[in-house]
Every structure is written in structure tokens, then in C-alpha cells.
Amino acid sequence: MQELEILSLLEENARLSMREIADATGVEEEKVKKIVEELEKRGVLLAYRAVVNWEKAGVEKVCALIDVKITPEREHGYDSVASRIMRFPEVKSLYLVSGTYDLSVLVEGRSMREVASFVAEKLAPLQNVTSTTTHFVLKKYKEAGVMLYDGEELRRLAVSP
Amino acid sequence: MNMRGKIAGRVAEVPPSGIRRFFELVQGVEGVISLGVGEPDFVTPWHIREACIYSLEKGYTMYTSNYGMPELREELSRAISRRYGVDYSPENELLVTVGVSEAFDLAIRALVDPGDEVLIPEPCYVSYVPCTVFAGGKPVSVPTSAEEGFRVSAESIEERITERSKVLVLCYPNNPTGATLRRKELEEIAEVVVEHELVVITDELYDRLTYSGKHVAFPSLNGMKEYCVYLNGFSKSYAMTGWRIGYAAGCAEVIEAMMKIHQYAMLCAPVMSQMAALEALRRGDGAVESMRRAYDRRRRLIVKRLREVGLECFEPEGAFYVFPSVRSTGMSSEEFAERLLREQKVAVVPGNAFGSSGEGHVRMAYATSLESINEAMDRIERFLRR
Ligand SMILES: Cc1ncc(COP(=O)(O)O)c(C=O)c1O
């Protein structure tokens, strides 16, 4: 499964060059290029991005997780509301979830006021949205599978049997 | 008093370890990329560490049975049976030890009388020869070469058999060469073992780290359970080197004899490591497989780059070592390793640290990130161009 192998390599490190992927998988570089282009075209590979600890960079960002309850629409279910919400650039991720509410929205802004006004002015008034509950993020511990604190150092000796 | 004169002869006669010597050389150099480390670059999977922490909270801080905790032996018995179809009784055919290191020492001490010969294919892991000497045995080296893929053959073993031959040591997948043995080759060896009534100590610590084809456990060969002591552990496949835990499996008589020594010399393996090992066996397969896949990628990379820079290198099929030849450079193993360290700050281990048939080679461990391998190989390329 060359495709899956390439995907898992890129998921781990999106900066690998085609040549490095070729070396690690034993697939020829030209072929890797072809497979990657194909995966991009099919929408399997969506984006290549860095995971940033903005706090360490001295930039303040405010995140909130918002539980949204909605009345589903006849024919479209939740999709049409979701597709309106996800188009806002403030929305970093959006999931339909099971349980006591319907959509889980992660919103990012420069200040609490900005996030609050996004919720009050854009999200809550949407047709079909019946309620919102906003949870501001106080501290991030792990983001996109990467620990922000307490990373582990390798403590190996330089030479061992 | 002159303490030097008091050291037992068979200890004094064993030279200092080549690995230690090299370790000390590397210690003094800043900015080294090391391909000299014989252990995983992964920290033990969290669920295993977490299980150990929980066991401490629950008060597991005491001695256990000399054989090891019954639950752990039962789980080991099931795991070996599931994987290789060999049944070892948890009652009296399994012994939990402080790593394969201790298990090997116990096996040798349990089997070897002064003067008994121990056949050891070389290049090999560094402890086999010294442990044999400490036990009063006579190590008989069976050299292997790159030409034969560092696989020991039944004939070369047979050629060295004498009246005193008692034990044959096997270690596949191999440290330092990465060689594995095929079923057919193992079966040929088994014939020699039966004919000469040898006991095989088979160190299969790298059994889960193979890259082309499934590992064949020596005791799974027809009738071989009766002839061998099977050693394995958690250090490499579960990235648990520092926990110091492993085990031996064999027929009741030999396990009983090993336990006799173990109960006085060690008493038991650390209970927290036994608890961690239990968790590893129960839920660790996913982590083992994902680490194996990471090693496989690195293996492909390093073999390819070694060949590109013109170092001849037979393709390793197991463990996480490559053992390229440095003969084309005109340098000896040690000269190559020392100059590479001084001039380009890359640490590798001279092949002769693993026996004289390792001369002309160096061991590189690829249990390190793709980036470090690339950087190390860039430096090696520069080193060779000068
Ligand atoms: C072949 C072989 N056997 C045994 C050992 C020691 O293993 P343990 O950590 O289980 O004592 C090593 C470690 O490098 C090894 O490579």
C-alpha cells in the first residue's frame, strides 16, 4: 500500500521532499510525485501546514469551543447550516457530534471580545440555530497530535551495545 | 594491598569492551550525530508507562516469585504460543529475568562446565564471549562473512564441533549485522544440533523487527523445543531498554537450573517492570508495529544512501543495524570510525567490537530520525570525498 505509506509519512511530517519519501518507502521519486499529485487532485491530501505554539511566539490568540444546537432542515439535515458556519474564517474546525448538542465549533480570534461578538452577531442569529454555549479555551496542552508542553527528551547514551 | 593482583584470572583476562572504549571517545566530542546507539529512539509507549505508574500507586513494590509473577508468565506463555505455536508451561518452563542480558548469563552458567565449548557465530552481540569466559567455558568462534549475508551455515558449525562442544548460540535477527535466517537454513542447523546433541541458546530479542518475511522461532522447528533455551525480552520491540526485563523459556530442567542461580544472584526481576511488561503484552502490538514501520523506512533510506556513497552494504532484514564494509576506503574498522568521528562528528561502532570477523565493517544503528540519518550520510559523503 504505497499510497497509505506516503500518507502516513506526510501526516507525520509534511515537509518531507519527494526524494525523502522515495528513499523511505523504496518507491521511485517520479512515482511518488505522481501519487502525491493524484492524492491532491482527489482531495485526499488537503493541506500542508505547521503546528504553531502562538503563545511562545508572543502572539495572543483566543480560542473557544462552542456547542451549537440546531433544528435540522427538511431534505438537507444539518449540512446546509454547517456549510454556512464553516465558511466563516474564524471557524477553525467544525464537527457534527452526538449527544446533547449538534455542532461543535472551534472559533479563533484575537480577543475574547472578538470571539464573543462573532458568536453573538454571526453564529447565534443564524436561522435554525436554537442555542449556543461558549467555552473559552484556558490553556492548550496538545494540538494536532503535538504536545505543547512537557515534550520528552531522548536520554540515550551516545554509544551502546 | 595490590588489588589488581587479586582480581580473578578469568575476569582479568577479558579485555575491556570495544564499545565502552568508543563511548568514551565520543563523550569528548560536541555536536556528534550518533549512529552508534544500540537501542530504540522511541520512549516506551505511554500506555505501558502509565500502567507502571498505576501499579506503583496500587502498592506493587515487593519481591515477586523467583520465576516472575504468575500472570506475566501466563501471558508470556500465551503470547509465544499464539505467535510461534510453541507451548511453554507457565508453571515451570518460563523464567522472567533482568533482560536478555541476565537470561543469557544464566543459561550459560546453568549449562557450561569448565572447558566446555560454546559455539558462537560471529560477528555477534558483545556479551556472548565474555559471559562464556566468566563461566569457565571456551568460546569457539564460527565466523560469517558479508558474502554469505552473515548467515551461519550448518557446515561451518559442524566443522568446529569437537568432543567438548556443548552449546550453540544463535542470534537472528542479528546485532550487529541485521542478518536473519530462513527456515531452511535453520532446519539444516537443527540437524547438526540433533546429531551432536548440542544445546542451543537462541537470543531472539529482535524477532518482531523483521522487514522481509516472518520470523521463524528456533523452538518452533520440529523437535527443537527440547534442544533449546529461547531468550527474548522487551527492550527492542517495545522500546523498553531501561526497564531491564526479559525472559527465558525452555524445558523444565534447564529453567529450574537457571532459576537456581537467578534466585540467589537476582532474586527476581523488578516488579514495576514486570507490571509494565504485562501491559506491553496485553496491549502493545499496535505500538510495536508502528515502530517497526518507522525502522523499515529508515532502513531503506540508509541502505540506499550507503550504496550511493559507495560503501558496500548487504541488505539487513531485521533488527535496526546495517553493517557496511569499509574495506574500499583502505582503512581498518577502528581507523574509519575514529577518523569519521574526529573529522565529521559521526559516531559508528567499529565492526571488530563484535568479533574479529567484523573487521573491515562498521555498525550503524538506524534507530534514529530520517533527518539525522540524512545529515549523518551527508557528513559521511563529505568524509569519503576527502
Ligand atoms: C542481541 C542482543 N541480545 C541481548 C541484548 C541485551 O538485551 P536486554 O536489554 O534484554 O538485556 C541486546 C542489546 O543490545 C542485543 O542486541
What are the tens digits of pLDDT across the range B34-72? 999 999 999 999 999 999 999 999 999 999 999 999 999
For residue B85, with 0-12 CB atoms within 10 Å meaning exposed, 13-18 middle and 19 or more buried, which class applies?
Answer: exposed
Give the CA dihedral B121, B123, B126, B129, nearest 10 degrees. 40
Specify the ligand 1 atom closest to the Cα of B124.
1
Beta-bridge partners for A77? A73
pTM: 0.93
The alpha carbon of B101 and the centre of ligand 1 are apart by a number of angstroms equal to 6
The alpha carbon of B209 and the centre of ligand 1 are apart by a number of angstroms equal to 13
Q: Rounded CA gap, B143 and B70, in Å?
A: 40
The alpha carbon of B3 and the centre of ligand 1 are apart by a number of angstroms equal to 31
Res. B9: pLDDT tops 90: yes
Q: Which residue has the CA at smallest separation from atom 13 of ligand 1?
A: A161
Name the percent of chain B lying above pLDDT 90. Answer: 94
The alpha carbon of B233 and the centre of ligand 1 are apart by a number of angstroms equal to 8
Q: Grid coordinates representing B257?
A: 537450573
Give B34's contacts in chain A (Cβ within 8 Å).
158-159
Give A160's contacts in chain B (Cβ within 8 Å).
19, 23, 36-39
Q: Output the ligand 1 site: residues, CB below 6 A.
A: A 161; B 38, 99-101, 125, 171, 175, 203, 205, 233, 235, 241, 246
DSSP state, B350? E
For B176, name the nearest residue in chain A, comparing CA atoms only: A161
For residue A89, with 0-12 CB atoms within 10 Å meaning exposed, 13-18 middle and 19 or more buried, which class applies?
Answer: exposed
B153 touches chain A (CB under 8 A): no
* Residue A94 half-sphere exposure toward CB, CA atoms < 13 A: 16
Mean pLDDT of B213-235: 97
Give B43's contacts in chain A (Cβ within 8 Å).
152, 154
Q: Do A158 and B34 touch (CB under 8 A)?
A: yes
Give residues with Cβ within 8 angstroms of B23, minimum separation 6: A157, A158, A159, A160, B36
Query: Looking at residue A46, what is its pLDDT?
Result: 97
Give A158's contacts in chain B (Cβ within 8 Å).
23, 26-27, 32, 34, 36-37, 347
Query: In this complex, which of A20, A23, A156 lies closest to B39 when CB atoms are compared?
Result: A156
Residue type, A123: L
Alpha-carbon gap: B301 to the closest alpha carbon of chain A (Å): 5
Among B175, B208, B243, say which to mutate for ligand 1: greatest number of ligand atoms within 8 Å of CB: B175
Q: Do A26 and B300 touch (CB under 8 A)?
A: yes
Among B205, B206, B207, B266, say which to mutate for ligand 1: greatest number of ligand atoms within 8 Å of CB: B205
Q: Grid coordinates representing A79?
A: 449540512
Query: Looking at residue A150, what is its pLDDT?
Result: 73
Domains in chain B, CATH or no CATH each: 3-44+286-385 (3.90.1150.10), 60-284 (3.40.640.10)
Instruction: State the angle between helix axes of A29-41 and A18-25 in degrees (0 to 180), rounded to the nearest 10.
Output: 110
Q: Rounded CA gap, A26 and B301, in Å?
A: 8
Give A5's contacts in chain B (Cβ within 8 Å).
293
Q: Grid coordinates representing A38?
A: 493524484
Domains in chain A, CATH or no CATH each: 2-41 (1.10.10), 62-139 (3.30.70.920)
Residue type, B8: A
A49 touches chain B (CB under 8 A): no
CA end-to-end distance (rounded Å), chain B: 52
Scanning B341-360 for CB atoms below 8 A from A yields: 347, 349
The alpha carbon of A83 and the centre of ligand 1 are apart by a number of angstroms equal to 56
Q: Rounded CA gap, B98 and B357, in Å?
A: 29
Among B101, B172, B215, B354, say which to mutate for ligand 1: greatest number of ligand atoms within 8 Å of CB: B101
B215 touches chain A (CB under 8 A): no
Pairing status of strand A129-136 against strand A62-70:
antiparallel
Q: Mean pLDDT across chain B, nearest whole number?
A: 96
**pLDDT tens per residue, chain A (161 residues)?**
899 999 999 999 999 999 999 999 999 999 999 999 999 999 999 999 999 999 999 999 999 999 999 998 888 889 999 999 999 999 999 999 999 999 999 999 999 999 999 999 999 999 899 999 999 999 999 999 999 887 777 788 889 99
Res. B21: pLDDT tops 90: no
For A152, name the nearest residue in chain B, comparing CA atoms only: B43
At B250, is the secondary structure helix, strand, or coil? coil
Mean pLDDT of B174-190: 97
**How large is the ipTM?**
0.83
Give B99's contacts in chain A (Cβ within 8 Å).
none
pLDDT digits (tens, 9 = 90+) for B109-159: 999 999 999 999 999 999 999 999 999 999 999 999 999 999 999 999 999
Alpha carbon B13 to chain centroid distance? 24
From A107-111, B28-32, B166-170, B266-270, the region with the lowest mean pLDDT: B28-32
Q: Do A24 and B301 touch (CB under 8 A)?
A: yes
Name the percent of chain B lying above pLDDT 70. Answer: 100
Q: Do A158 and B374 touch (CB under 8 A)?
A: no
Query: In this complex, which of B37, B349, B370 lies closest to A156 when CB atoms are compared?
Result: B37
